[in-house]
């Protein structure tokens, strides 16, 4: 049996999404910016896809959603655009973010630091999140932007976006959230949360890879990352990936309907909990950051005495795909930075395995995975001498 439990890395394209995309390769292929009928046919479908995107994140008609190549580009664009507009050509010089953002944020912030920007990286608490008032404490008069993810890709932990949005509005500071892991897992409402920008990627919610979006609230200036043609209202030059955009619109419609979100909350959560509870029956296992306040599909579990990479290899032999998250960059076996941010001890930081589920997983698959995971834990602990000397304090450490 093949069981895919790595949906935070990427998801299967839904069949209906694929069907909607197909005509845009060989049948409806006009450039949307052309004036003839070939172009016009494309244009109509793109407008519909855009409508689905607006509805999915509850954007206002006057706001902008710009199609990008994914969340990496969207995140880069917000940070570098705000740097140019508010810091290079303005009076500000400070950005607030967290220690556990995706590298598309943290690496861009490191780059900006080299250009003289001051960045505050807020640490997460034991629950793997931050409290909104912490953001208030760190906003300064010269803060240009607060950028805080909606849900963490490793742990699934949620951040208090609505409360932080309120604080940013009071303090008159721009607010961006990387919502890549939130779309299709919980309701995302950009207006209610006072957001100026959000980033997302289609392939995280059953759309195609290499296409994403950046939401920009009406009236917000953001210097483009790409200069060239006048596509996307002049916000992003370059011919848009039409099939990708159509697919992303269909996927957004599919995963953000009230029925779909309820299915995620009930069905996917039940499968995740069954898997997690079965692993927790094994000695010296712990959910990183605890089980509260998470996306319904994710669990990051530390299994004492079992190197994460060894576990993945063992599971892969049995047809199961999971992840150590952005854990060990395979060449240097560096510990998972998210677990380090929790202050975990060093062995713990190497023993995290992330299972991330989707609407396509079945109970049969989960039962199969449980059997194989339990077998792998016993086997790997049997050959790991360090486990025999592991401190008793594993669970109290978190």
Ligand X SMILES: Cc1ncc(COP(=O)(O)O)c(C=O)c1O
Q: Tokens 């580009």: give the residue.
A: 73
328 labelled catalytic: yes
Beta-strand runs (E) in 23-149: 64-68, 94-98, 118-122, 143-147
Check residue 70 for interaction with ligand X (CB under 6 A): yes
Judged by beta carbon, residue 204 or residue 372, the one nearer ligand X is 204
What is the rounded radius of gyration, in angstroms, for the C-alpha atoms of the chain?
A: 22
Closest CA to 11 of 202, 171, 235: 202
Judged by beta carbon, residue 100 or residue 380, the one nearer ligand X is 100
| Min CB(178)–ligand X separation in Å | 5
Judged by beta carbon, residue 178 or residue 284, the one nearer ligand X is 178
For residues 46 and 39, give the distance between their C-alpha atoms in angstroms, rounded to a whole number: 11
Check residue 72 for interaction with ligand X (CB under 6 A): yes
Check residue 178 for interaction with ligand X (CB under 6 A): yes
Closest CA to 279 of 216, 392, 369, 159: 369
| Min CB(259)–ligand X separation in Å | 25
| Min CB(212)–ligand X separation in Å | 6
Only segment of 81-89, 163-171, 176-184, 253-261 that touches ligand X (CB under 6 A): 176-184
For residue 64, how many C-alpha atoms fall within 13 Å in the half-sphere facing its CB? Answer: 19
CB atoms closer than 10 angstroms to residue 196: 25
Check residue 394 for interaction with ligand X (CB under 6 A): no
Check residue 6 for interaction with ligand X (CB under 6 A): no
Contact 358, 6 (CB under 8 A): no
Check residue 71 for interaction with ligand X (CB under 6 A): yes
Contact 24, 42 (CB under 8 A): yes
Give the count of residues interacting with ligand X (CB under 6 A). Answer: 13
Among 7, 11, 129, 180, binds ligand X (CB under 6 A): 180
Query: Which spans of this chain sit near ligand X (rule: CB under 6 A)?
Result: 70-72, 102, 104, 149, 153, 178, 180-181, 201, 203, 212
Active site residues per annotation: 328
């Amino acid at each position: 049996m093949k069981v895919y439990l790595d949906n935070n890395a990427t998801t299967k394209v839904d069949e209906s999404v694929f069907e909607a995309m197909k005509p845009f390769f060989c049948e409806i292929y006009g450039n949307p910016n052309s004036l003839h009928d070939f172009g016009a046919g494309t244009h109509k479908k793109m407008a519909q896809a855009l409508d689905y995107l607006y509805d999915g994140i509850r954007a206002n008609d006057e706001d902008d959603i710009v199609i990008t190549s994914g969340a990496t580009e969207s995140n880069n664009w917000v940070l570098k655009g705000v740097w140019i507009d508010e810091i290079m050509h303005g009076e500000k010089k400070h950005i607030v973010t967290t220690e556990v953002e995706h590298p598309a944020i943290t690496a861009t912030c490191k780059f900006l630091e080299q250009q003289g920007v001051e960045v505050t990286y807020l640490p997460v608490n034991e629950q793997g999140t931050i409290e909104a008032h912490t953001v208030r404490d760190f906003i300064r008069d010269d803060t240009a932007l607060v950028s805080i993810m909606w849900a963490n890709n490793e742990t699934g932990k949620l951040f208090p976006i609505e409360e932080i949005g309120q604080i940013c509005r009071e303090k008159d500071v721009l607010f961006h959230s990387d919502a890549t892991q939130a779309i299709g897992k919980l309701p995302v409402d950009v207006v209610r949360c006072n957001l100026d920008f959000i980033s997302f990627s289609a392939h995280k919610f059953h759309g195609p890879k290499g296409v994403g979006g950046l939401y920009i609230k009406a009236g917000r200036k953001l210097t483009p990352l790409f200069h060239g043609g006048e596509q996307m209202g002049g916000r992003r030059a370059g011919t848009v990936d039409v099939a990708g955009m159509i697919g992303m619109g269909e996927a957004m419609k599919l995963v953000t309907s009230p029925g779909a979100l309820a299915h995620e909350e009930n069905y996917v959560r039940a499968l995740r909990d069954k898997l997690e509870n079965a692993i927790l029956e094994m000695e010296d296992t712990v959910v990183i950051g605890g089980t509260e306040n998470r996306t319904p599909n994710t669990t990051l579990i530390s299994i004492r005495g079992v190197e994460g990479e060894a576990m993945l290899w063992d599971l892969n032999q049995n047809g199961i795909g999971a992840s150590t998250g952005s854990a060990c960059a395979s060449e240097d076996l560096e510990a998972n930075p998210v677990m380090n941010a929790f202050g975990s001890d060093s062995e713990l930081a190497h023993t995290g395995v992330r299972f991330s589920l989707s609407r396509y997983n079945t109970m049969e698959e989960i039962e199969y995975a449980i059997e194989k995971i339990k077998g792998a834990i016993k086997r790997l602990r049997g050959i790991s001498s360090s486990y025999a000397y592991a401190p008793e304090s594993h669970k109290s450490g978190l």
